[in-house]
Structure 1
Amino acid sequence: MAGDRARAGRARTAPADQGRVRSREPVQSWKGTAVIDPSAVRPSPRQLAWQRQELTAFVHFGPNTFTDLEWGTGVDDPAAFAPSSLDCSQWVAALVSAGFKSVILTAKHHDGFCLWPSKYLPHTVSAGFGRDVVGELSAACEAGGLGFGVYLSPADLYQEKAPGGYYGNGSPAVSAQIGEFTYVVDDYNRFYMQQLHELLTSYGPIAEVWLDGANPTHSAQTYSYDDWFDLIRRLAPDATIAIGGPDVRWVGNEDGFARETEWSVVPFLNGQMVAEQTAASVAGPEELARADELRWYPAEVDVSIRPGWFYHAAEDTAVKSVPELLDIYRKSVGRNAVLLLNIPPDRRGLFADPDVEALTAFGAAVRQYYDTPVALPGEVNVVDLREDITAGQQVESFAVDGLVDGSWQEIARGTTIGHRRLLPLESPVTVNDVRLRILSARADAEVSLSVHFDPLL
């Protein structure tokens, strides 16, 4: 299940050779010049566009949907995947209506089954269902104005267990042709990159490539991350590479919250994050003091709308409520992260009714309570701060005062802001005006302040 998945290794830090460059060395497209001044670190255009989405969706779909498993075995019958009424446009319509900006599909989960007719193996939709789910969702996203991303699991139980499989087979690295490019890789990395090439050239445009760190296999297999990143940058230069990739890090849990102090400026030492991604602090003073490099490395918060990541009919009554989803929203989007909310299609190939109802109500609540500020004077219970992150992330601590009955009173206090900070008040208060006091900052920062009232708090 979700917790098992995290324990199995999602919290992988960036590879040791990723970004180990200094200011006088050549800089490859995914690598950043060494920076030790935290006020000088800036997001790339792709990271900025990614952060501004705020709401993104995950779709876990595959044989597990039909076998009632969370992690498949790798030898499941591909004919088990048999949605009766697949309609990717229904997914897109529900997501767009709720305010989501992009969706990431599990094109291949850990079981190795492919939701597109890959020419590199038989364990795909071609073995039974016969329809290209990746292609249909890509087309629906383009028609609906939704960004499209792909999850391609590095771990592959089918390639580990199938006769002649490549995963962990001990093959040497040799010259391999990947489309129009040549790399020196072993059998499995060649296979993985061939699949990346298929996805990035046959579908899209691709907004995000998601590389899960979880690994249920039992074979030793080294991943050629730098070659993967190079191929993605060549074929999809605007796509963010997430979770262990160079653009976006895992927040460190699957419970729907970022840290109260969440920095996008993250310290590295010898090419690795100083702290584990699961640590309570990944970019505090102690971590900064140990760094030889700082990078813009923002957090993504992945959580499911249900207890499981794949659909299980028994969980139809356990879909998160609107107050629960709004709490997640405040603690992810409202803590300088992007929310990646999983909505798993059912065995029909549709978002189930309880999920659509929750999404619809959640989107309406966000629009009503958080998209439009309260006109003052008025009653408020949430403060909303936004830092201009094109100039970096600078604010270390702040306070917000409210003008109450003719005098200024402190109503909220916090640490980092970043792209957005939503801070609930202890109780509602009627104010005539509000003001921000920046208590500590790394450099000058431009911050906007607004206030909201959420009746569900």
Structure 2
Amino acid sequence: MKLTKTCQAGLLSLSLLLSGMFSSCTNDDPPKPYGVLPSADQMEWQKMEYYMFIHFGPNTFTDVEWGNGKEDPKVFNPTDVDCRQWAATAKAAGMKAIILTAKHHDGFCLWPSEYSTHTVRESLWKDGKGDLLKELSEACKEYGLKFGVYLSPWDQNHPAYGTPEYNQIFANTLTEVLSNYGPIFEQWFDGANGEHEGGKKQVYDWKMFHDVVYKNQPQAIIFSDIGPGCRWMGNERGVAGETNWSRLNVEGFGPGKAAPPTDTLNIGNIHGAAWVPAETDVSIRPGWFFSPSTNDRVKSVDQLMDIYYTSVGRNSNLLLNVPPDRRGRIHPNDSTRLMEFRQTVESVFSNDLSKGAKISASKTRGNSSKFAAANLLDDNYDTYWATDDKDMTASLEIDLGQAKTFNRLVIQEYIPLGQRIQKFNVEYLNGDKWEEITTATTVGYKRILRFPTITTQKLRINIQNSLACPVLNKIGLFAAPEKLSTPVIQRSEDGLVSIKCATPEPVIYYTTDGTEPTTSSKVYKDAFKLVEGGSVKAIATIEEGKTKSEVVSVVFDIAPAKWSVVSPTTDNAARIVDGNPSSYVSIKDKEAVVVDLGDKLILKGFSYDPLKSETANNVYKYNLYTSLDGKVWTKVQSNAAFNNIKNNPIKQDVLFDKAVEAKFIKLEPLQTTATAKEYIVAELGVITK
């Protein structure tokens, strides 16, 4: 039978229509990239997740956080530097790299720089022939770690600082470092600038500095408040935003005081014009440099796990500072804690309960197996589940095959195609009803959600809002053990020590002689007096001592039982000496704080507790006076500063050059960390021990 031309044309049209319908159902085209994207180097950096920061220099020996550039370089004289020990510790801790403070704000260079006279060459260490950068870069290479450098552009020692010539000197210094010590994975820039109010200021040539980095180390990730490689996330507590976009608007901003607000740095910008992911920097000790006084204040495993969840678990890399001691070695307390931390992370995340599960999606891109939900349960980073371009919402259901118990969910976006998800929730099947466990906003490279332990066979993840079709490449379920809470030691203003624990009805053992508490130590039953101060260590136990908490340690000085606040005269002024650093007083700008100590004491120093917030108006620069009668005053600290207190608002212990007898102390604020009509004091104390 011969078809007419009209019939032939009709059949051809029908054939094309069916072909188009079929191809749309099996569309293998991947989603188009959304928004700005990470570079290949940024992707490699993001996958590192966790690495070590090392602060080491004259401050290690002078017991200050920020040196002033006037210290004698001979003070830097570690007795037993072993960079291989640093690298071995980092490797054993599961870290992927080490970043060293090659030059801090004091200008001291840990290598014999041609552009400075304030270096290891002028120190006693190795008779001036040492080079920390050389030793550490070689050790990192030996242990398979990447190597990074911190170089502060602020230099309180160099005579050219504050002049146009200095920028070229700093650029030469950068070239010297970046061309002599092998591959550098990250160049860390601090935005600090100037010696307090009225001091030298430098107009940094950031473009020149970046050009030097990329010329010598084109693959390096540049860190600053605004990147361009990665950004500071607004605090030094280890807490990235629960919402955390890897995008940031950088136009019109700069590092340091020119940076975006800290809350913006913490969460990024949803439609930011640049890809600048977050890096969370935090120290394992209260300060950044080693101090013998903090040997018993190394963060607990519980604290480090919280930091892990609020950094790596919130789309940020974790840069954990571990400062070497005065020998030039990582202290046993720090290294032991690092190993315990790694063991705890691995114990939680070594057993993925989603293995072998069945997973289905309410929507799949083109109904293609290439984008099937099953890709979420494999170990291939580059396979993923996606929806059609028009579908911004979808649900994923996981059937575990049998009831399983868990309390952690890991979920990852395939960020080479951009960050997309804006909101989602998680539900579990409880009997015949779906119940919500938790809600969250962004995902990014990795999101880890914590929730109360549940037992279920089925879990459901609902993508509720996405900027473009969602693209996920990994889901995992894990069970973290329910841990015994660490005891909390507190002392009232009259010297009464109490020990509490969130875990119901534990047995708490404690010591007051500096020894480690065991089940043979004294059992805590009631609060006890410790007016003159001392060390208290405690451990909580359950199950007749079979399960134990971490040991917690607190050192107290003399209690403020006899103290009174002379100034200010506000109703709540007594909070300044109530022994509770969580309470605070707002004081009129420039008004001094005067405290009557009740008795004449021999003071070795004093302490100041700020309000623990980066946005609080805490004291930065100050004068400190002492008096025997409250009338005649002796200035013992002049134009001094609580360095780095804006970014790291923790208790500040200040030692005097020599002990003084006093019955009164006076803190006179000269400059604060923010612009406000009132400043904050949480607690004022003295050091007598």
- One-letter code aligned to 1:238: Q
Name 1:449's counterpart in structure 2. 475
Cα offsets for 1:269-323 (capped at 9, x unmatched): 4567998240257768xx66xx8x6111111111100001000011010000111
- Does 1:190 find its partner at 2:171? no
Match among 240, 258, 269 for residue 258 of structure 1? 240
- Residues 39 and 61 from structure 1, CA distance in 2 versus in 1: closer, same or farther, beyond 3 angstroms? same
Name 2:585's counterpart in structure 1. none
- Does 1:438 find its partner at 2:463? yes
CA distance in 2, matches of 1:282, 1:72: 28
User: CA shift at 1:62, angstroms?
Assistant: 0.1
Is the CA contact (8 Å cut-off) linking 1:57 and 1:340 kept in structure 2?
A: yes
Is the CA contact (8 Å cut-off) linking 2:233 and 2:267 kept in structure 1?
A: no
CA distance in 1, matches of 2:70, 2:259: 37
- Residues 271 and 325 from structure 1, CA distance in 2 versus in 1: closer, same or farther, beyond 3 angstroms? closer
Cα offsets for 1:340-388 (capped at 9, x unmatched): 1100000010000110011001111112213442355421111111111
CA distance in 2, matches of 1:197, 1:272: 22
Name 1:215's counterpart in structure 2. 193
Match among 269, 276, 279 for residue 260 of structure 2? 276
CA distance in 2, matches of 1:301, 1:456: 26
Higher relative contact order (CA 8 A, sep 6+): 1
Q: Which moved more, 1:92-101 or 1:351-360?
A: 92-101
CA distance in 1, matches of 2:329, 2:142: 18
Name 1:102's counterpart in structure 2. 97
Please give the secondary structure, in 2, of the residue aligned with 1:50: helix
- Residues 215 and 275 from structure 1, CA distance in 2 versus in 1: closer, same or farther, beyond 3 angstroms? closer
Name 1:361's counterpart in structure 2. 340
Name 1:152's counterpart in structure 2. 151
Name 1:32's counterpart in structure 2. none
Cα offsets for 1:162-201 (capped at 9, x unmatched): xxx11013xxxxxxxxxxxxxxxx3111111111111111
- One-letter code aligned to 2:45: W
- Does 1:315 find its partner at 2:294? yes
Is the CA contact (8 Å cut-off) linking 1:59 and 1:344 kept in structure 2?
A: yes
Matches within 5 A, 1:232-381: 232-244=213-225, 245-270=227-252, 276-279=260-263, 294-375=273-354, 376=400, 377-381=403-407
Name 2:497's counterpart in structure 1. none
- Does 1:413 find its partner at 2:439? yes
Please give the secondary structure, in 1, of the residue aligned with 2:295: helix
Cα offsets for 1:16-46 (capped at 9, x unmatched): xxxxxxxxxxxxxxxxxxxxx9932110111
The alignment-based identity, stated in percent, is 43
- TM-score norm. by structure 1 comes to 0.82
CA distance in 2, matches of 1:449, 1:402: 15
CA distance in 1, matches of 2:233, 2:265: 11
- One-letter code aligned to 2:162: G
CA distance in 2, matches of 1:63, 1:372: 45
Please give the secondary structure, in 2, of the residue aligned with 1:158: coil
- Residues 456 and 328 from structure 1, CA distance in 2 versus in 1: closer, same or farther, beyond 3 angstroms? farther
Please give the secondary structure, in 1, of the residue aligned with 2:114: coil
Please give the secondary structure, in 1, of the residue aligned with 2:412: strand
- One-letter code aligned to 2:435: Q
Name 2:596's counterpart in structure 1. none
CA distance in 1, matches of 2:232, 2:343: 28
Is the CA contact (8 Å cut-off) linking 1:275 and 1:282 kept in structure 2?
A: no
CA distance in 2, matches of 1:280, 1:212: 18
CA distance in 1, matches of 2:267, 2:48: 23
Structure 2 runs not aligned, ≥5 long: 1-31, 355-399, 484-689
User: CA shift at 1:433, angstroms?
Assistant: 3.0
Q: Which moved more, 1:50-59 or 1:402-411?
A: 402-411
Length, aligned pairs only: 394
Higher share of residues assigned helix: 1
User: CA shift at 1:431, angstroms?
Assistant: 1.9
CA distance in 2, matches of 1:347, 1:374: 45
Is the CA contact (8 Å cut-off) linking 1:38 and 1:265 kept in structure 2?
A: no
- Residues 216 and 370 from structure 1, CA distance in 2 versus in 1: closer, same or farther, beyond 3 angstroms? farther
Please give the secondary structure, in 1, of the residue aligned with 2:296: helix
- One-letter code aligned to 2:469: D
- Does 1:118 find its partner at 2:102? no
- Does 1:224 find its partner at 2:205? yes
Is the CA contact (8 Å cut-off) linking 1:118 and 1:124 kept in structure 2?
A: yes
Is the CA contact (8 Å cut-off) linking 1:265 and 1:283 kept in structure 2?
A: no
- TM-score norm. by structure 2 comes to 0.55
- Residues 228 and 364 from structure 1, CA distance in 2 versus in 1: closer, same or farther, beyond 3 angstroms? same
Match among 204, 210, 230 for residue 182 of structure 2? 204
Name 1:86's counterpart in structure 2. 81
Is the CA contact (8 Å cut-off) linking 2:97 and 2:146 kept in structure 1?
A: yes
User: CA shift at 1:220, angstroms?
Assistant: 2.1
User: CA shift at 1:94, angstroms?
Assistant: 1.0
CA distance in 2, matches of 1:432, 1:324: 31
- Does 1:391 find its partner at 2:440? no
CA distance in 1, matches of 2:33, 2:150: 31
Structure 1 runs not aligned, ≥5 long: 1-36, 160-164, 170-185
Name 2:515's counterpart in structure 1. none
Please give the secondary structure, in 2, of the residue aligned with 1:433: strand
Q: Which moved more, 1:407-416 or 1:235-244?
A: 407-416
CA distance in 2, matches of 1:451, 1:237: 38
- One-letter code aligned to 1:418: G
User: CA shift at 1:410, angstroms?
Assistant: 2.1
CA distance in 2, matches of 1:272, 1:152: 17
- Residues 97 and 151 from structure 1, CA distance in 2 versus in 1: closer, same or farther, beyond 3 angstroms? same
Matches within 5 A, 1:36-51: 39-51=34-46
User: CA shift at 1:127, angstroms?
Assistant: 1.1
Is the CA contact (8 Å cut-off) linking 2:98 and 2:146 kept in structure 1?
A: yes
Is the CA contact (8 Å cut-off) linking 1:115 and 1:134 kept in structure 2?
A: yes
Bigger Rg, structure 1 or 2: 2
Q: Which moved more, 1:253-262 or 1:266-275?
A: 266-275
Cα offsets for 1:187-245 (capped at 9, x unmatched): 11111111111111100210000001123522121111001111111110111000133
Is the CA contact (8 Å cut-off) linking 1:262 and 1:336 kept in structure 2?
A: yes
